[in-house]
Amino acid sequence: MTGAVGGAAGGWALGSAAGANIDKHISDWWNADKAADKADATTDTTACKDCPCSRIVVISRSASPQAAQHIVDAQAAGYPSVLTLDRPGTSTRRTASLRGIPTMPGMDRDEYPPATFAEGGAGSSVRHISRSDNRSAGGQLGAQLNGVPEGCKITMKVGP
């Protein structure tokens, strides 16, 4: 598989040495934490009948340092780390979370919790970060949520 994830500054090429290194770090971290996470996982059979409804998403600090720090800061401030996937409400929540936050040239308004989750929307933490950093984090999020059904509980973490 080839292609690029993220922008020119902050992304990595899939299949490249940098991409393989990031994949290895995430895999190492994932495997070390997997048993503990599995023991803590719960199943929500009302929201999602075809999955365990408990997944972990890791945003790479090396690929998206600003987005990763926003996640760490927002969770430390009391925003939830366990989120409910709800793609259909994304647009409405994004509009609510970004209302009144001015745009800045070359910057994106990063939201935590992301608008893709039911916990996002009005009252979310919003921070200006570089466009390439935000889009890299969004690419990581999208790739890890590919095929995950609505209603699943997603634990958002920051990795290497």
Structural domain harbouring 121 = 17-159
Task: Quote the CA–CA distance of 28 and 97 in Å, as a whole number.
Answer: 34
Residue at 10 is within a domain:
no
Q: What is the pLDDT along the chain (160 residues), one digit of tens a residue?
A: 334 444 444 444 445 554 554 454 444 444 433 333 333 333 333 445 555 589 999 999 999 999 999 999 999 999 999 999 999 999 999 999 999 999 999 999 999 999 999 999 999 999 999 999 999 999 999 999 999 999 999 999 999 9
Q: What is the pTM of this model?
A: 0.70
Domain total for the chain? 1
Q: Which residues in 89-125 are b (16+ Cβ under 10 Å) and which e? A: beeebbebbbeeeeeeeeebbbbbbbbbbebbbeebb
87 forms bridges with which residues in the sheet? none
Residue at 5 is within a domain:
no
